[in-house]
Structure formats: structure tokens, C-alpha cells
Chains A and B, each alone.
Chain A
Amino acid sequence: MLSPRALVLRAPGTNCDLETAHAFERAGGIARRVHVRALAERPATGDDCQILCIPGGFSYGDDIASGRIFALELRTRLADVLRAFRDRGGLVLGICNGFQVLLQTGLLLADADGTRQATLAHNTSGRFIDRWVSLRNTGGPCVFLQGLDSFELPVAHAEGRFATRSAADFARLDAAGQLPLRYAGGSNPNGAEGDVAGACDATGRVFGLMPHPERFVATTQHPAWHGRLDPDQPGTGLALFSNAVRAMA
């Protein structure tokens, strides 16, 4: 059986691509880091990949808004490639800046005409924050979260406050199981509506989240592992990558 291939798409300012590729490889996949310019020039580069991941970072500096320009580039130069990838049953994962990009491209939580239903706004603190949060999976179709219940991951962002266009949008998405990942135990770090930390499309195959699963693939990445956790065990974040690899194997 061939290992599934993950295309880790980077842009100027992407900075979590190496560890994200490492996480896919630890999960048994084969990861390839590709620059968005290279993919635009040779769209066929992605043809043999089953998983597309947009990793974290500050694409184009996030100077206007997080992920805005990367998303613009995807919409203007790679819209067909992305749609074809999704339509042939590929999995799409956006982490942190990648989640912001997925929302801005309209690949996730958008009306049929591309109008966006949700955004990720500035944290209510007004500041970047790096800390660990408690999370819970409320269930639903999300392929990446299968088998996960309560777990911890770190967040590191300034613009992660999930907000929907309207209360009705939130209720509909919630009912459809498209808002499965929630901050738990009072650990909402950014003021997100409904404690939402991650959202997926109706199929569960396109998923974006603010926390960084690639930063907890080894136990030694946890802030309280010393003397408490077995350093030879994998971290819980690895499960998201393993789920993706298993689904495409």
C-alpha cells in the first residue's frame, strides 16, 4: 500500500511548513513542501497528492489581515486547482494562518456565491498570545478529529477570534456539526464566538483550526511533561495527522 501524499503549501511568510511536513511524515504520510508560485506555474505538481495542508505563519506578513493576500493569490491563480482537488475527494487542512486562508478563499464556510459566513478577527485582548488551551471535540463529520474527545494543544495567534456573519449562520453550522472543535474549561484565548477553535465543511473533509496540532506530536512539546509524561509517547496532536493519513490510505 502506498503512503498517502500531503502537499504542504507555503507562501512568503509561511513559517510552520517544516514541522507540519514532519508531523505528516511521523503519521506515516509522505510530505512535500511546495511554494505557491511553483504550484501556480506547474499545477500538476499536486496531482499525486491526497492531502493539501496550508500551514501556519504570517503569509505576506499578515499586514492587511491574516491570510488575506495568500487567499487572494489562491483565488486568482489556483481556484481551479483547489476546487478540483476537493472535488476528487482530497482532504484539506488549514492550521492557524492556514485556517484564516481557508475562510478567506471561501473554501470553508461560504455561501454558494462565495460570500463568507465567518471570519477570524483580532483577539479581544488585542494581542498575540502563545499558550496551551483545553479543547473538546463536539462530534460531527470532521475526518481529522475522529476518535478525539478532550485534549490540549497550543495556540499562537493575534487574529483567532472566530465570528460568524449572523447568529443564524452559527446555529445552522453548529447543527450541521461544522463547528466541532471548541475551547474548553474556560480556556478560550481570543473571545471566539461559541468557543469555536476549528470548523469544517459539510463533508468534514475540509477542516481549519487555530490551535497547532503539529506542535504536539511529541510528548516533549508539552509544557508540563517533565517528570510527568512519558517522553517516548506521541503527543495528541499527531492523531489529527494520523486520521488524515489513515483516511486516504
Chain B
Amino acid sequence: MLWEVDVSLTDPATDHAAGELVAAANQLGLAGCTAARTAAGWLVEGNVSRADVERIARVLLADPVTETFTAAEIGAAGLTAAVDGLPTVVHVLPRPGVTDPAGLTAAEALAMLGHPGVAVRSLKKYWLPAMEPAAAASLARRLLANDAIHDVVVGPLALESLAGGGHWSFARHTVSLEGLDEAALAKLSRDRCLALSVAELVAVRDHFRTLGRDPLEIELETIAQTWSEHCCHKTLTSPVAHEGPAGTARYANLLKETVFAATQEVRRLLGAADWCVSVFRDNSGVVRFDGDHDICVKVETHNHPSAIEPYGGAATGLGGVIRDVLGTGLAAKPIANLDVFCVAPPDTPAAAIPPGVIPPRRLLAGVVAGVRDYGNRMGIPTIAGAVAFHPGYLGNPLVFCGTVGIMPRGHAEGRVEPGDLVVVAGGRTGRDGIHGATFSSIELSSASETESGGAVQIGHAIHEKTLTDFVLEAARQKVFHAITDCGAGGLSSAVGEMGSELGAEVDLDRVPLKYDGLSATEVWISEAQERMVLAVPPGQWDKLARIAAAEGVEATAIGTFTGAGKIVLRWHGEVAGELACHFLHEGRPRHMLVSRHVPPALPPAAWQPAGLASTLLAVLALPDVASKEWIIRQYDHEVQGASVTKPLLGPGAGPADGTAIRGVLGRERGIVLGVGLRHRLGPLDPYQMAAGGIVEAIANAVAAGADPERIALLDNFCWGDTRRPETLGPLVEACRACHDLALAFAAPFVSGKDSLNNVFAYTDAAGVAREISIPPTLLATALGQLPDVRQAISPDLKRPGSLLAIVGLSRADTAGSQLELAGRVRGGRLPVVDAAACRATIQALARAQRAGFVLACHDLSDGGLAAAVAEMAIGGGLGARLDLAAVPFAEAGDDAAGATTGLARDLAIAFGESPGRFVCELPAGRAAEFTAALGDVPWAVIGEVLAEPSVELGGAGGVEHVAVAALDSAWRSLARENH
């Protein structure tokens, strides 16, 4: 019997979802949706009577104080009767096979109530005014559902059963590569979504020729997963012949000779004081923390899934990077998350949005909700992040998710032993996420939403939470030898990586499934979420199984790591596929890539000056600068109780630079996170884009009190189609910047990730094929350490009468600035990183901080000096007086673009974005000590803190005043729109 229970709020005034729907329909100008009601619906199937269903509804599904319910057989007329005079009924339910966390949880609860084996699916139900069914369906698709994961049904539900799946009979499918020319091989790769190049398919064909047979489908899929850009960074590790502004260069392995090489050199110079533990090897980079602990960090991207299904894409992106940390060494405990989104400007006109693209506002709301619902449920504080806007992100947004973990010392390395059991733990395997790894390596198009639905997934955070509890307890009891997460490529990549030397035999029929009917290949490559793979010595299996049972986690031994050097896949004893580890991991052909970078000519500054105060208000309201409070407060940023420096600080809740937590409760050593992203410089100068981002990340962390001698860096490259030499060229330039900056700051890169092919292809209204490529984007993340959290520093102003000082040299750096976006200038000098000077500035600042008299500190980034001081005033609820003439400013001389006078000069000083500068609040009368601490670094007292909440900007044309309340209001204007 299939029952439906609808639960709705008794008081319509509290039906918030209905109000949101009406408002959203209004905003989009959709006629006819003047009122709505909503309900949470539940489909319940199994051996339950009407009385049972009513009891289930009463006890489990509805709140007795605020809600009422209707329970009936599915299709009963009462279920689609008008509510409050609203006759059109719309159902939105997860498509068969899409993870339905609420339904799964309800089924578990029913088992508790004495109804085991009952299937439950959740749905959302809406009552709307009279309208055509087609209009209702279209409205639902635009506002309530996503075709990638939802079915929309207008009127009665005609479902007969919730049962899905089917039956699969074992069969071996060979895929012959013989006799195929280049075009045919390329077609085969495309049709099967393999993302393998012709040269790679030729290498596969030649390998199987030596074996005297054709590859099986499961073998070909395994190779495609393992050789995907997502899994092995084949572009960044390729040999490259580069032509750039600094001349030509040849790399045998780009990444190894730039980013890795810098890390090795930093470690060599540190000698016995080397604090790196495990870098560029494991799922995250590990460094020393205190005497008992190491910490690790990883940042991943989940761009393509988020473009198609923002909520699920962002949630599973976060879920994936949490498992990266959990799957590092012998498991680390996740203790902080960070999230960075790059999206198109929120005011992008509807007419400019290509077909198949989710409008940026809805997309941003979706990714925020995804991170919120997953991160909050995991109980990991989301402490850092950023949102960056650029039209190039329209069809291909970027979603970065990062996690920091902590582990006992000595747990940084796992080692699989021959004879260890291959154990899969956590969620069950379904058809979800098939081809995620290869999908992420292919460019998006307007048809992606329909073609790649299988690559989109919904996470089940509570499964990951219980999995985490299980893994950490198993790690404490030392019952496994190695662990890794099941991410891109699923079991094929997890078991393949863990068994890359030893090899493994896997009985795919033993893998627990969500539903029947999966083929062996599907089981092997499914990217179903919330799973980990562990190498467990047979003698520890019982103990591990007991821990799993105690935490309510399913753990299953599915094979053995053998030592035979090959992966053997079986299905009920029959061999389903067999691959030599050596070919799988070393057989990929490498080809010399060609890259070219010709720097674009930068126009001299063309000024359209306006007043300082009005410019400041305009800059604070720009999306990159404006308050992200509406996002931050949706994230639990305080869970785990280790919070020291939050993302919003001071009585006025101003913005933080780096954010900090304690590593261990009750101890004083802290961890600081900073991020840097200078995407606007990407198209102008990719080297400076990367260098500026790295300096910003480090400056963030150091401003908050991090020790500049203990900063670990991460790189996340997001690029367009790097098969084009002119797109690869900027990537090489960015890699060079990473190398140079890591060396200059003695800050090693410890991990990283790249996401290439971030291109959106579509056909415009006139039938012309078009393409939007993202600007070259490097996200730099700095993992810093605070020797004592009691010395943490925040940017909010503290005391009237204190001095304000700027540290670091300012220039008229207006290219790519917020000042340019505000329309006050076009072009001008590019912000160029002087790495040695930045390093000296940062070290001097740290000396001053340690001397203990820096009351507040803020690094200068988007919006420059004026925006930074405004933010400090907002946070502290105090005012400030600024004398721009006192700012150490490099006049014209080093380049003509700096030759500005009058108001333009004031604007350049106030809003220029020269890297590596800080504003500090010093107690009155301590300037002499500050001088001593700063040495030769350029700095000057430029004003003071005022009790009256007003900012005074003194320039060549006199003094302008602006109330802090007005600054606050401008800064929060975007947040208000989003509420």
C-alpha cells in the first residue's frame, strides 16, 4: 500500500516558504502567483494500515502544537482538494535514484516505531491560484525545482510504487579500439563521456594489443577515471614549452618544477627546522602544529556540478573535501571549513543570461544553502571565505570548499600491507554521480543540465557525520593501516590509489547497494557520496566492525590488497576485469604542451574623479566589498567551541581578515586561515594575479596575528580551455608566481588542486555559437599558526585617541581596482608585487604585533585604504580621521601612470590597491616603539581614532566627512537585498 501524508502549518502566517514563493514570483514578474500554501509531503509504502499511517503522522511527521496533517491513499481526491481557495496543486519530488535524506531518515525512524522495511520518499507540495497546468509546471521549474534532480507533477500523483532499480545479469562488454581512426576514437571518447584524448586511447589500444585482447568496458572506464584531469592533473604535470614576457622556458613537469620545487627548496633551507610533514602526497597537506598534533588542509573545487545544481553541487563539494581531510594519513578530525564562490554580478540582466544558465542570484543563494545545510549538520565551523564577482563566471561559476583537520603526531602516513582487507564504509552505492570525474574535465554547455544529470548529487550530511565519528574512533583504536575517501572516480579511484603498488582483488557484488540493478561497472565507478575505503588487517576486522555497529555505520569487506600488482574485479566469483597497476598509473602518454603568454597593453589611467566621501560610499556597496553577513550568519561558524577570531568582529560586526580557532580546546595555540583572490587582474597579468592573491592570503593571516614564519599555502587554479596555448600561457605564468612567492616568503605550498576547462559554450538568440571563459583565477589559501590565541588581533577600532598608521608603500595602482568598477578611473598602473618588500613589511608588522601594542590591524585589499578604515570604523563603532597627504606614496618616476594630481591623486591614495599594506591602530604615544619595531619599512601615522562615529577624509581639496552609519548602510546594502 502506498500512502501520502501532507503536513502543513496550522497558522498560514507562519508559512514562510509560501511567502518566499510569492515574493520570488513577483520579482520575476510571473503573473498569477498572488498567494500560496505549502506542505511537507511524505509517501509511505509498505505493510502499514490506515491506523498505522495516522499514528506515524501524529507521532513522527507532524508537530502537535503548530502543524496539522492529512493522510490518505495516494491519489485520493482529498489530497488535491483546494486549500484556502487555492486549487492548483504542484508536487516537487526527488527523481528516482536521487538521494532523499529526509525520506531515508524517516524510514529509519519508522523502523524505530516498529515498521521496519517501509520505504519513504519526501516531497514538497504547493497550492497555487487557478492557472493552466503548464503555467504551474513552468513556475515550479523556475522557482521550486531543478530538472537535474526533481520531478514536477501538477495535479494528482499517479505513482504506483516507490520501488526502483531492477536486475542486472553479469556480462562482460568489450570495447574494441581496433580499426578506429582519430575521428572515431574521439567520438568514442565523447559518446562514452571518457574525457580521454586520442593519444591516450591509442596508448590503451596498444597496451591491450600486447595482451592479445580488447579492453572490457569496466577496464576502459577505470583507465578513464584514473587518467582524468580531475584525478591526476595531467595538464599541470605535463611537459610544457612556454613563451612568456620573461622569455622562453621548457618544463619537463610544470607543477614539479614550479610549485613543488619551491616547497622543496623552502624545506631544504629550513633544514632541521622543517615543519612540513606530508606535502603533495596525500589527500591534504600536513604540517606540524604543536608537540602532540599535526594539522592538515585541503581546498577543492566543485564547479561543474554547482553550475547545474547549486545546492547539491556545493553541498557535495564540501562533503568531498571534508572526506579528503578525514582520509589523510590515518585520519584527521575536520575542525574548520572555508568556502569561496566566484559568480556573475547579481545585477546581470535577464536578457544577458544564456539558456541553461541559472541566474547568479539564485545560483549564489543555492550554493550558500548547500554549504549551510551540509557544513552545519557536520558540526564543522565555516570560518572563512569570500565571494568574488565577474561576468566571466556567468555560465561557469567557481565553488571552492576547504577543510582544516587535526591529527595526533605520527598519524600523518598510512601504509597498506599485503593481505589487508579492502573495506568500504558509509553510504550505500547507487547510480548517482556516475562520470563526475570525467564530467568535471569537460567544458560545460547549455545542454549539460540534461546530459549530465547523473553527475549531479545530493549529499546526506548525517551519513557523513556518523561516518566521521566512526573513522575517528577507529583511528583512535588503530584498527586500520590506511584510509582514503571515495570521491571522483568512486571505488575505481580510491581502491586504485590505495592499491597502486600492491594491487587488489575486489568482489564488486559485495558492495552494498541503494537499490538493485547496478552493473559491475556502475558499482565500480559510481561516485555515491559519504563513503570511505579503509585497508584493514584481517585481525582487526572484528574490532572495526564493532565500532561501525556502535556508530550505526555500514562497513563491508569487499576484497583484499594482494601484492600481485594488478587490480582484479570479480562479480560472484567471475572475473569482471583485470588491469596491471603499472599501466594504470604509469601508462598514460605524456605530450609536450605549448603555451604562450603575450601581456596585453594596459591603457594609462583615464580619470573621472569624484568626491572622496561619495566614492567611499560607492565602493563599499560594490558586490566584492559589500558585507557578506547575510551568508556568514547562515553558517554555524562557532560550533566545536574553538572560535577565537570570527568572520564578523567587534561591537559593530565588521569584517575579519584572517579568522582563528584554537587547535585543541583548553590549549592556547591557534590556527589562522586567510584567503586571497585577485581575479580581476587575471586577464591583465596572470603572474600578478597569482602573486597578489598569495600576498593577500598571507597578509590576511598575519594581520590576525599569525606567525609569518609558519605559513603553509594552497593553490587552486581555475582556468579555461588549456588545450589552447594562449590559455595555458597564463597558467604557466601563475605557476611561476607561486614558485617565486613561496620562496620569497619561505611559505611552502603543501597541497593544491586545479580545475581546467571552465568554459561555457552556448548558441545565442541569433544562432551564433558563443563561449564564455572564466578569467584566469588562482585562489590562494594561507594556513597560519598563532603561538598564543590570547595575542590574536582584530581589525575593529578599539579606543578613541589611538593613532592610525599605514604600513607599506602605496602607489597609484588602479588597474583592476574597485575604484575602476566604481567608474572613477579606467586602467592605470597594475598592482605589482615587490615580493622582498612585502616580506619585509610583513615581518616588521609581526614584530610590532609581538611587542604587544597593535590594538587593531587590517590588511588593505579591495577598495584600498579608505575601504579598510571604513570597515575598521564599522566594526568598532568608532570614527577615524585620515590625512591622505601623510600616506607614504610613490610619486611618478617609476612609471608615468602614477603621475596624478589633485583629487585624482587623493583617490589613488585612498582607493589604490597596492599589495602588501596594512592599517594599524596604535595607542597614543607609542609611535616611537612602533618605529623601532618597523625598521626600514615605509610607514607613517596617517590619522587617529575618533569617539564620534564619523570618518574624516583629508585630501588636497579639503576635508570630507561621512557618518559611520552611512558607511555601514552602504556596506550592508547588498546584504539587505539578499534578505
CB 8 Å contact bits of B641-653 with A (1 = contact, 0 = none): 1111110111101
Q: Which of A31-69 contact B (CB under 8 A)?
A: 35, 37-38, 56-58, 60-65, 68-69
Stretch at the interface among B490-498, B508-516, B789-797: B789-797
* Chain B: number of interface residues, binned into ranges: 35 or more
Known A-B contacts A122-B16, A130-B637, A231-B790; the reply to A224 vs B105 at CB < 8 A is no
Residue from the set B122, B639, B792 with the largest chain A CB neighbour count within 10 Å: B639
Q: Within the assembled complex, what's the spacing in Å between the Cα atoms of A63 and B7?
A: 13
**Contact between A220 and B636 (Cβ–Cβ < 8 Å)?**
no
Q: Which of B35-66 contact A (CB under 8 A)?
A: 59-61, 63-66
Chain A residues closer than 8 Å to B106, beta-carbon distance: 63-64
A-B contact count (CB 8 A): 179
Q: Which of A147-167 contact B (CB under 8 A)?
A: 154, 156, 163-165
Chain B residues closer than 8 Å to A246, beta-carbon distance: none
Residue in B closest to A77 when the chains form the complex, CB atoms? B112
Q: Within the assembled complex, what's the spacing in Å between the Cα atoms of A70 and B790?
A: 38
**Contact between A223 and B646 (Cβ–Cβ < 8 Å)?**
yes
Known A-B contacts A116-B65, A128-B634; the reply to A69 vs B641 at CB < 8 A is no
**Contact between B465 and A37 (Cβ–Cβ < 8 Å)?**
no
Q: Within the assembled complex, what's the spacing in Å between the Cα atoms of A129 and B376?
A: 11
Q: Which of B640-671 contact A (CB under 8 A)?
A: 640-646, 648-651, 653, 662, 665-666
Stretch at the interface among A16-24, A133-141, A175-183, A199-207: A16-24
Q: Within the assembled complex, what's the spacing in Å between the Cα atoms of A199 and B109?
A: 27
CB distance from B479 to the nearest CB of A (A): 18
Let me know if A187 is at the binding interface, CB within 8 A: no
Interface of A is mostly: mixed
Chain B residues closer than 8 Å to A77, beta-carbon distance: 112
Let me know if B461 is at the binding interface, CB within 8 A: yes
Q: Which of B364-415 contact A (CB under 8 A)?
A: 372, 376-379
Q: Within the assembled complex, what's the spacing in Å between the Cα atoms of A26 and B645?
A: 21
**Contact between A231 and B102 (Cβ–Cβ < 8 Å)?**
no
CB distance from A53 to the nearest CB of B (A): 14
Chain B residues closer than 8 Å to A14, beta-carbon distance: 379
Q: Which of B404-450 contact A (CB under 8 A)?
A: none
**Contact between B648 and A19 (Cβ–Cβ < 8 Å)?**
no
Q: Within the assembled complex, what's the spacing in Å between the Cα atoms of A228 and B651?
A: 10
Known A-B contacts A76-B112, A126-B20; the reply to A217 vs B653 at CB < 8 A is no
Q: Within the assembled complex, what's the spacing in Å between the Cα atoms of A232 and B977?
A: 40
Partner of B796, one of A37, A119, A121, A226: A226
Chain A residues closer than 8 Å to B14, beta-carbon distance: 121-122, 124
Partner of B645, one of A64, A73, A214, A226: A226
* Chain A: number of interface residues, binned into ranges: 35 or more
Q: Within the assembled complex, what's the spacing in Å between the Cα atoms of A231 and B705?
A: 15
Let me know if A72 is at the binding interface, CB within 8 A: yes
Known A-B contacts A60-B462, A224-B649, A226-B794; the reply to A130 vs B60 at CB < 8 A is no
CB distance from A132 to the nearest CB of B (A): 9
Q: Within the assembled complex, what's the spacing in Å between the Cα atoms of A221 and B638?
A: 8
Q: Within the assembled complex, what's the spacing in Å between the Cα atoms of A119 and B66?
A: 8
Let me know if B78 is at the binding interface, CB within 8 A: no
Q: Within the assembled complex, what's the spacing in Å between the Cα atoms of A107 and B112?
A: 20
Chain A residues closer than 8 Å to B112, beta-carbon distance: 69, 72-73, 76-77
Chain A residues closer than 8 Å to B644, beta-carbon distance: 220-221
**Contact between A19 and B641 (Cβ–Cβ < 8 Å)?**
yes
Chain B residues closer than 8 Å to A15, beta-carbon distance: 377-379, 465, 639-640
Residue in B closest to A189 when the chains form the complex, CB atoms? B633
Q: Within the assembled complex, what's the spacing in Å between the Cα atoms of A183 and B20?
A: 26
Q: Which of A184-232 contact B (CB under 8 A)?
A: 212, 214-215, 217, 220-221, 223-224, 226-228, 231-232
User: Can you name 21 A-B pairs with beta carbons within 8 Å?
Assistant: A12-B465, A12-B466, A15-B378, A58-B465, A64-B102, A64-B105, A69-B112, A72-B59, A119-B64, A121-B66, A125-B16, A126-B20, A130-B636, A220-B643, A221-B643, A223-B646, A223-B648, A224-B650, A224-B651, A226-B645, A232-B790
Nearest 10 interchain pairs by C-beta: A15-B379, A19-B641, A126-B16, A63-B102, A226-B794, A119-B65, A61-B462, A231-B790, A227-B798, A63-B105
Other than the given A72-B112, A117-B65, 18 more pairs (CB < 8 A) read A16-B641, A18-B665, A19-B640, A19-B642, A19-B665, A35-B551, A61-B377, A69-B109, A72-B109, A115-B64, A119-B64, A119-B65, A119-B66, A128-B376, A128-B636, A130-B633, A212-B638, A226-B796
